Amino acid sequence: MGFVFADLHLHTRFSDGTYTPEELVAEAHRQGFVTLSITDHDTVEGCPAMARACAEHGLQFIPGVELTAEYEGLEVHILGYGFDPGHPELLEQMDRFQAVRQQRIHEMVARLNEMNIPLPVERVFALANCRSPGRPHVARALVEAGVCRDLDEAFERFLKKHRPAWVPKWKVSVPEAIRLLHRAGGVAVLAHPGLYYADPVLPDLVRAGLDGIECFHTKHTPAVTERYLALAGRYGLVVTGGSDCHGYNKGQPLLGSIRLAPEFVERLQHRIAARRAEFSMKGS
């Protein structure tokens, strides 16, 4: 065996990734993955195409999403898994998150224009070509226009928090994000906790219904992974992992950097089934 691994954190062109779901699945299949999710920012639109592509290659597919949420002023990413991608309330909320993202693009480009950088907002939307645009699309437009050499420069000079073209974004609260995912038949997982310091609020998030922690992530050192594996054990949370591959946004694609073992996928599936039973009994 050896080739029975999962990648549960993947971005596509439906948000700020560069692969289509079909390209991503073909590449993951070539690399020997057997289970995949898709976790685009604030959209579930890629789920049907990803499900079809996985079925064609004989891979197991788990619907997913990465929600930008907030807890006590801290931006926290919440991964959702196993929900119904056609759930009406989920789709309605995604529309709202996407409207906020689109408005923010207008505001960021207006700030650039005020700095005498003549970037047309239409160009950013054309490059993004999706309903859930983000800062990487503004960065790509800046590179294309010759204003910046690469995406890192665009973030460093303009787009990082508190830089001149950065615009704060309204975010759903973590407890609301968790409730939304539960009502849609899924579970909620804290994404890459090593990238922000959420440890002090972890007990609160568990009380709010958090189901898991993404312990395995490209940017986690072995020590960070160990720390969150221990915390997952202490709080009775499932463990997930993924590469957070965005395709060719930033050098080499990250696909293949994380290979999640099947035991974790199995425990995630059990948790999804348990939450579904709980929430269908509540009739919500």
Residues that bind Zn ion (CB under 5 A): 16
| CB 41, min distance to Fe ion, A | 7
Taking every pair of Cα atoms in the chain, the longest distance, rounded to a whole number of angstroms, is 58
> In the stretch 53-82, what mask flags binding to Fe ion with x, by CB under 5 A?
-------------x----------x-----
- Among Zn ion, Fe ion, ligand AMP, none, what does residue 152 contact (CB within 5–8 Å per kind)? ligand AMP
- Among ligand AMP, Zn ion, Fe ion, none, what does residue 135 contact (CB within 5–8 Å per kind)? ligand AMP
- Taking the mean position of all CA atoms in its chain, how far away is CA 168? 18
Torsion angle of the four alpha carbons 172, 176, 177, 182, in this order, in degrees rounded to the nearest 10: -160
Instruction: State which residue has the least CB distance to Zn ion.
Output: 16
* Nearer CB in complex with ligand AMP: 13/182: 13
Give DSSP secondary structure letters for 32-52.
TEEEEE---BT--TTHHHHHH
Task: Give the residue ranges of DSSP H helices in 121-160.
Answer: 121-128, 135-144, 151-154
Which residues in 223-282 contact ligand AMP (CB under 6 A)? 246, 249-250
Q: Could you say whether residue 5 binds ligand AMP (CB under 6 A)?
A: no
Distance of alpha carbon 40 from alpha carbon 64, whole angstroms: 8
Torsion angle of the four alpha carbons 42, 46, 51, 57, in this order, in degrees rounded to the nearest 10: -120
- Among ligand AMP, Zn ion, Fe ion, none, what does residue 150 contact (CB within 5–8 Å per kind)? none
The radius of gyration of the chain from alpha carbons, rounded to an integer in Å, stands at 18
Q: Could you say whether residue 171 binds Fe ion (CB under 5 A)?
A: no
Distance of alpha carbon 125 from alpha carbon 217, whole angstroms: 30
Q: Which amino acid is at 198?
A: A
Q: Could you say whether residue 271 binds Fe ion (CB under 5 A)?
A: no
Which residues in 139-198 contact ligand AMP (CB under 6 A)? 139, 151-152, 155
| CB 135, min distance to Zn ion, A | 9
Q: Could you say whether residue 9 binds ligand AMP (CB under 6 A)?
A: no
Q: Could you say whether residue 135 binds ligand AMP (CB under 6 A)?
A: yes
Among residues 117, 126, 197, 125, the alpha carbon closest in space to that of 157 is found at 117
Return residues touching Fe ion (CB under 5 A): 66, 77, 191, 244
Return residues touching ligand AMP (CB under 6 A): 16, 41, 68, 134-136, 139, 151-152, 155, 246, 249-250
